[in-house]
């Protein structure tokens, strides 16, 4: 049943409409601008003009620090309270009581599946884990030391050439088929990228295994006739996929929506989202944390490193967040998960440096004043490394989980009657009209 009030407690669609009274001191004119869901529509400001020639008022908001680009019912975050919910369910409950595929179903369909729905959903995804054999030739074209995230981004885009019918984005069946294919194939593409980088043969999916078990199979199977996944590690990976599944309008979701708004096929939009996630400020941060811990080397070097960060000579990777001004709820869950994984794999010695780094940072006014806390990327890499994933695979692991969130955001965009092709305006500060001077006179 749809919620009647937005999580922030404001009345939803049925509430009385409030207004903002704006006085333009340049003209003395007053304007009544409607307030809707705690926002004003930027387009309502265009009526504010100094004369008939005036284009009208716009808002200027680099990096969208204070701009809602869409209305969404998928994920709710309260940055001050450290709250994260998918379709109203708290992230810690989903991590504890659901599987990743259940959570992916929730993100896409809006409700948790019943037993029959989950069986059908799991079967549809499992029967789409294979990729066309030509994808292997595509992968083989990369250098042996190609970054696996670079390979992943390119291969997601390449999938669009194998499934031209995905362009029928207004056909619900075609959309759902692509959703099955992308969620089903991303672990295969990720594992193939890794196997290529270590010169090992590709391992085909084993559809008798669960989603996370099969990914471990395709990553780490050697000569044994059937890969036997470690149940604790497979469960930990499944939980990590849940924690990474969606995060409302983050940089890569914005890329998925912006590129998807041109009505391109979803493979191309997902490749753009994966490219955005690759950035060290976004999904690439989980790898940067490990590089940072390696650079620090030992606990006694932490004070000097912190001083460098405070002098502006670098960032404390895995810390800070545009929305969370409190502890990222996902980081808390990951920190607990680390203990379970390390019982199987042995403790990652870098955990001691990370814990000390966190302790010092959370006592230091520079970080406290800026409300910088560990985010999802601070501890996740320690688990991945303990599970024998190479560091440059970490952003790929993030992308596997996030694929279901990107697809949920993409589908919501397509079905939103208020959405059109994304085309922001600008504040032009360049030259006024001027004449070309001939080359001989320049
Ligand atoms: C993800 O958006 C999402 O939801 C993303 C994500 C998801 O699930 O999709 O949660 C996943 O991307 C998590 C973030 C991973 N990135 C990192 O860990 C990289 C390190 N973090 C920073 O780069 C930064 O905190 C961001 C990019 C995450 C957020 O940047 P903002 O919101 O633009 O904040 P800012 O850069 O304007 O920082 C405000 C101040 C600045 O100092 P002053 O100029 O005010 O003096 O805080 C400082 C920054 O220098 N600061 C940091 C810092 N992060 C911010 N200083 C040191 N170390 C840091 N990590």
Q: What is the pLDDT averaged over residues 97-126?
A: 98
Say what the pLDDT of residue 326 is.
Answer: 87
CA 160 to centroid of ligand 1, rounded, Å = 33
Q: What confidence category does residue 17 fall into, taking pLDDT thresholds of 50, 70 and 90?
A: low
Say what the pLDDT of residue 105 is.
Answer: 98
- In whole angstroms, what separates CA 386 from the centre of its chain? 23
Say what the pLDDT of residue 227 is.
Answer: 97
Nearest to 73 by CA among 15, 170, 3: 3
Say what the pLDDT of residue 8 is.
Answer: 52
CA 292 to centroid of ligand 1, rounded, Å = 15
Active-site choice (321, 328, 364, 432)? 321
CA 317 to centroid of ligand 1, rounded, Å = 8
Q: What is the pLDDT averaged over residues 291-309?
A: 95
- The protein residue with its alpha carbon nearest to ligand 1, atom 41, reads 370
CATH topology of domain 91-421: Citrate Synthase; domain 1 (1.10.580)
Q: Of 97-101, 148-152, 226-230, 326-330, give the lowest mean pLDDT range.
A: 326-330
Write down the H helix ranges in 163-230: 172-197, 211-220
For residue 32, give the 3-state DSSP assignment: strand
The 3-state secondary structure of 78-110 reads: ECCCCEEEECCEEHHHHHHHCCHHHHHHHHHHC
Q: Which residues contact 366 (CB under 8 A, 6 or more apart)?
A: 309, 310
- The protein residue with its alpha carbon nearest to ligand 1, atom 5, reads 250
pTM: 0.94
Query: Across the chain, what does the average pLDDT equal?
Result: 94
Structure tokens at 271: 């490749």
pLDDT higher than threshold 90 for residue 238: yes
pLDDT higher than threshold 70 for residue 267: yes
Active-site choice (377, 392, 416, 432)? 377
What share of the chain in percent tops pLDDT 70? Answer: 96
Nearest to 407 by CA among 21, 11, 52, 105: 105
pLDDT higher than threshold 50 for residue 4: no
Q: What is the pLDDT averaged over residues 8-14?
A: 50
Q: What confidence category does residue 1 fall into, taking pLDDT thresholds of 50, 70 and 90?
A: very low
Buried/exposed code over 130-150 (b: 16+ C-beta within 10 A; e: otherwise):
ebeeebeebbeebeeebbbbb
Q: What length does the chain have? A: 442
**Mind listing the pLDDT tens digit for each residue in 42-73?**
999 999 999 999 999 999 999 999 999 999 99
Q: Which residues contact 231 (CB under 8 A, 6 or more apart)?
A: none
305 close to ligand 1 (CB < 6 Angstrom) = no
User: Ligand 1, closest atom to CA 320?
Assistant: 25
Catalytic site includes residue 321 = yes
* Residue from 255, 311, 321, 398 whose mutation best tests the ligand 1 pocket (most atoms within 8 A of CB): 321
Q: What is the DSSP letter of 38?
A: T
């Amino acid at each position: 049943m749809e919620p009647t009030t937005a999580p922030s407690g404001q009345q939803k669609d049925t509430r009385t409409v409030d207004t903002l009274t704006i006085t333009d001191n340049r003209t003395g004119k007053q304007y009544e601008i409607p307030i809707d869901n705690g926002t004003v529509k930027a387009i309502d400001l265009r009526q504010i003009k100094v004369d008939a020639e005036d284009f009208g008022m716009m808002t200027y908001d680099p990096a969208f620090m204070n701009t809602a680009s869409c209305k969404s019912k998928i994920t709710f975050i309260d940055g001050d309270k450290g709250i994260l919910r998918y379709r109203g369910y708290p992230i810690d409950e989903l991590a504890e009581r659901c599987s990743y595929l259940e959570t992916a179903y929730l993100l896409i369909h809006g409700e948790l599946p019943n037993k029959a729905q989950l069986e059908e959903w799991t079967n549809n995804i499992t029967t789409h884990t294979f990729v066309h054999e030509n994808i292997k030739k595509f992968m083989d074209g990369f250098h042996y030391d190609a970054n696996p995230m670079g390979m992943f981004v390119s291969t997601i885009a390449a999938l669009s050439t194998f499934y031209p019918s995905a362009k029928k984005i207004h056909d619900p069946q075609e959309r759902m088929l692509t959703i099955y294919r992308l969620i089903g194939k991303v672990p295969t593409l990720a594992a193939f990228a890794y196997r290529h980088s270590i010169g090992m043969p590709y391992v085909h999916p084993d559809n008798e295994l669960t989603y996370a078990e099969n990914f471990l199979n395709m990553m780490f199977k050697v000569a044994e006739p059937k890969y036997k996944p470690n149940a604790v590690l497979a469960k930990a990976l499944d939980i990590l996929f849940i924690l990474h599944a969606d995060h409302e309008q983050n940089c890569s979701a914005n890329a998925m929506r912006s590129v998807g708004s041109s009505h391109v096929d979803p493979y191309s939009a997902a490749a753009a989202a994966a490219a955005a996630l690759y950035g060290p400020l976004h999904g690439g941060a989980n790898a940067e944390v490990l590089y940072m811990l390696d650079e620090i080397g030992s606990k006694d070097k932490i004070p000097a490193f912190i001083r460098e960060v405070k002098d502006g000579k670098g960032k404390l990777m895995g810390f800070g967040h545009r929305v969370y001004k409190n502890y990222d709820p996902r980081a808390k869950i990951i920190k607990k998960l680390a203990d379970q994984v390390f019982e199987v794999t042995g403790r990652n010695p870098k955990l001691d440096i990370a814990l000390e780094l966190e302790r010092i940072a959370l006592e230091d006014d520079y970080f406290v004043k800026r409300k910088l806390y560990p985010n999802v990327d601070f501890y996740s890499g320690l688990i991945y490394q303990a599970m024998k994933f190479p560091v440059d695979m970490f952003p790929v692991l993030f992308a596997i989980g996030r694929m279901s969130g990107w697809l949920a955001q993409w589908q919501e965009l397509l079905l939103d009657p208020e959405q059109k092709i994304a085309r922001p305006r600008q504040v032009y500060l360049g030259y006024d009209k001027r004449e070309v001077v001939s080359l001989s006179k320049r």
